[in-house]
Each structure stands twice: as structure tokens, then as C-alpha cells.
Amino acid sequence: MNILEEKIEELIIDFGKIYKGNDWLVVKKYILKYLNPKFRSSFSKRDDKTKKHIINSFEIKIIKVYEKKFNIRLVLKDEKKLHKA
């Protein structure tokens, strides 16, 4: 496990103890707020035009770790998801 993965796991454990919802964006915002800015490039960005979100493979790994730790599957709500034509 590298330093980025260790820090993210530490953050999701801290947050998961108090947050009982399943909204991926809430967890992502918490992680990004407390994560060193140099690591933020691993996360997906919103679409410039629509401002909708996608989930990349790195974020899928985080979602799986969160589910394993807390038995909660984080989801990106449909109205916030970028649907490719």
C-alpha cells in the first residue's frame, strides 16, 4: 500500500465512523478537503460544460474499500452522473 492509499484509508475510516449515508460525492469531498493537494490528480473531474461527474478506476477502488470497511456501497446519484451519448 502506498502513501496515498494509506492516507485515503485513514480518511475514510475517520469519516465512515460518523457518516452513514451512501453518497459518493459527500465522501469524495471529505477526502479531497483533507488530502494533500498533490494527490488530487488521481481523482476524476467534472465535465466542463454539464458539471456532471464520472467515477474513474481509482475512485472505484476507494468505493470498494469503503464498502468492505463499513458495508455501505457508495453511489453517484443519477442526477449528478454524466451520461455519455
CA distance 21 to 3: 27
pLDDT at 84: 62
Please check the confidence at residue 60 and state whether its pLDDT lies above 80: yes
Is position 8 within any domain? yes
Residue 85 is assigned to a structural domain of this protein: no
Sort 74 into a burial class: Cβ within 10 Å, 0-12 / 13-18 / 19+: buried
Examine residue 47 and state whether it is found in any structural domain, yes or no.
yes
Average pLDDT, whole number, for the chain? 92
75, β-bridge pairs: 23
pLDDT digits 0-9 by tens, 30-57: 999 999 999 999 999 998 998 999 999 9
Q: How is residue 35 annotated by DSSP?
A: S
Task: Please state the domain count of the chain.
Answer: 1
Q: Which domain holds residue 16?
A: 3-76
Question: Is the residue at 81 inside a domain?
Answer: no
